[in-house]
Amino acid sequence: MFSHVPGALARAILIALMVATPALLVPSTALDTAQIVIVLSFIAGFMTFIEYYGAYPSIIEFRFAPPFNRIRFLALTTILIALSLILRGQGDPSVGTVALTRLARGLGELVDFPYSPVRLVLLMIPADADAALVATVRMTAGLAYSVSLAMMLVFLTVVRLLGWPTRTGAFNVWVNLPLFDPTGGGDVLHRLRRDAGLNVVLGALLPFLIPAAVNTASNMIAPISIANPQTLIWTLTAWAFLPASMLMRGIAMSRIADMIEDKRRRAYAADAPEAKGLQRA
């Protein structure tokens, strides 16, 4: 059990630093906001330590099937750091922040076309917002969305070309899917394919549905000020990362369903009378 402590502690520190990154990099963070972020970072780190300290997972899926969670962590960290540096560069520019801002501006203009997710995000901005805020939202949304797309492409490459998840050894479905109840009723293969399809559909639709939901909610309650740097960073990070993460989960579960189906097919073929050298009556 104690052999898990170094790995669990390292992951907890990384998660805590990731949560605290926007508050640490953006100089205009209010004191109250910084204190809340520190508390949340400690909570996230503690939960991560507890999860990885145990021999068996309770919440985190695909814990024993790298690099699924590593790809997601790297993408999420990249989005948070990049958006934080862009907003930091608006008040304290440097060579790195200027170059990153130019890259984000180009990506934002590239993916900002009619009916695109980035165009729908711009609809969340109040009509009386100034041009600087619109440009900031466009480039940060474009960068976050591009990173999320790159995350999915990397995972697809790992699945199709590198044979994930069996390239590192045997794959245990029940350990890697702790939230999936095998006794929930019905064929496991059918349920895996159903959950995979649901995740893919939701992951594809959420980038379009989230801005519409925010717009609808802002008409009924006080709208959230997206001009606040911390709000902007976390809103766009969630908008870009959560749908892409659901798509990754759908692809992973579809891959597992294919593996189970292939294993069943081989087992049925081995049990066939012809495979045992027998003839049908």
Is residue 178 within 8 A of residue 58, CB to CB? The reply is yes
First-last CA distance in the chain: 56
* pLDDT at position 2 over 70: no
Instruction: Kindly report, residue by residue over 133-157, the tens digit of the pLDDT.
Output: 999 999 999 999 999 999 999 999 9
Q: How far apart are CA 101 and CA 107, in angstroms?
A: 10
Residue 175: closest CA among 67, 12, 65, 253:
65
* pLDDT at position 188 over 80: yes
Weakest mean pLDDT among 135-149, 158-172, 208-222 = 208-222
Domains in the chain: boundaries = 1-55, 66-276
Task: Say what the pLDDT of residue 192 is.
Answer: 92
Where would I find the H helices in the chain? Answer: 5-25, 31-53, 68-91, 95-111, 117-122, 131-162, 173-176, 188-220, 229-271
Backbone φ and ψ for 221, nearest 5 degrees, come out as: -130, 175
Q: How many CB atoms are located within 10 Å of the residue 41 CB?
A: 20
| Assessment of whether the complete model's pTM goes beyond 0.75 | yes
Weakest mean pLDDT among 68-72, 81-85, 265-269 = 265-269
Weakest mean pLDDT among 62-71, 160-169, 192-201, 256-265 = 160-169
Instruction: Kindly report, residue by residue over 72-126, the tens digit of the pLDDT.
Output: 999 999 999 999 999 999 988 999 999 999 999 999 999 998 889 999 998 888 7
Task: Say what the pLDDT of residue 30 is.
Answer: 81
Task: Say what the pLDDT of residue 34 is.
Answer: 84
* pLDDT at position 36 over 80: yes
Half-sphere exposure of 234 (CA within 13 A, CB side): 14
Q: Give the mean model confidence (pLDDT) for residues 180-190.
A: 78
62: left (phi over 0), alpha (psi -120 to 50) or beta: left
